[in-house]
Amino acid sequence: MVQTCPTSKALGEFLRYKEARWLVDLLRAWLAEHDNRIRMGGTRSNQRMRNWILGGAIASLLVTGCQGNAVPPTVSVDYDLRVPEGVAPAAGWPVIVAVHGLRGNGPETCDTWAEIAGREGYLLICPSFNSEDKYWQFNHGEVEAFDTILSEVAATQGLDLPIYLTGISAGGRFTHRYTFNYPERVRAAAVVADASDQDYEPAALAVPLFWAMGAKDEDFIPRLQPLMEDLEAKGFQVEWYVDPEAGHAWSPEILERAMAAFNRTRNLLP
C-alpha cells in the first residue's frame, strides 16, 4: 500500500503560510479587477489569460503543497505505507519508520524492509524527503512531518506507539538525532552507516540502540568504535555490529540483526 499527501491537505498546508496567503490575496484581487472591467463593458479578450492564470495558480498550490516547496523547504508528507496481512493486534500494529539516505526515497526503502517487517508483523512507514538535497536533516520541519505522517496513518490503522525508528547514512544521522532529542517518541532505534556525535536528552539513555555498519564502509568505519565506547561510557543501552561483507548499505545481515533488536524490545513489553 502506497500513500502520498492528499490534494486537500496539500492546499491546506500551503495556505497556512504567510507567503502563500499573500500570493492568493494578490491573485484574487487581480481576478476581481478583471471581472469588474468585464461587467463595466470591457473586452473579454483576456478571458483565456484569466483562466490560464487561475488554473496555473491552483496547480502550483497543489504541487508545492505536496512537494514541500511553498511550505518550509524540507517538509515532506510523502511516504510509502506497508501494512502486514491479517488482523492487527489488540494494541495496534507495532510501527517501524525507516528513513532513507542521500538521494534515496521511501519506495526503495520500503522495498528493502518490506519482507522482514511483514514477516515479523510490523507496519512499515518509509518517508520520502522532497528537497533538492534529497535527504533528511533535522530542523527544517522533519519533526512536524513525522507527526503529520503518524497522524494520517493512525486515522486508518491502529498503531502501537512509540515507533521503532531506523535509518541509513543521512537517514541514520536523522534517526540518531531524533532519538536523542525526542526519546519519548522512540521505543528502539537502529542506526546504520552513521557515526556522528550528537547532543542528547537524558531520557534517551533509556532507549535501546542498535548500531550497524559495513566493514567496507571506509569513510565511516574508523569512527564507529570510538563512538560506541563514548555512548557506553555515558550509559546508553547500545548494541553494535560490523558486517564484514557489507559497505555503505542495509545488508541482509544488518536487517536481520536490527529486527532482532526491535523484537527483543517488543518482547519486553507488558
pLDDT in tens, 86-117: 999 999 999 999 999 888 889 999 999 999 99
Q: Which of 45-49, 138-142, 208-212 has the lowest mean pLDDT?
A: 45-49
Closest CA to 248 of 35, 103, 97, 55: 103
The residue that leads in pLDDT, 17 or 168, is 168
Instruction: Identify the pLDDT of residue 164.
Output: 98
CB 75 within 8 A of CB 144: yes
Query: Under 8 Å CB-to-CB from 216, ≥6 apart: which residues?
Result: 245, 246, 247, 248
Quick one: 79-267 is in which CATH superfamily?
Answer: Alpha/Beta hydrolase fold, catalytic domain (3.40.50.1820)
Instruction: Identify the pLDDT of residue 137.
Output: 65
Residue ranges of the domains in the chain? 2-67, 79-267
Instruction: Identify the pLDDT of residue 69.
Output: 34
Rounded to 5 degrees, φ, ψ at 161 are -95, 160
Instruction: Identify the pLDDT of residue 62.
Output: 40
- C-alpha to C-alpha distance for 133 and 131, rounded to whole angstroms: 5
Q: Which of 26-30, 86-90, 202-206, 260-264 has the lowest mean pLDDT?
A: 26-30
- C-alpha to C-alpha distance for 84 and 102, rounded to whole angstroms: 27
Global pTM value: 0.72
Q: Which helix (H) or strand (E) holds 242?
A: strand 238-243
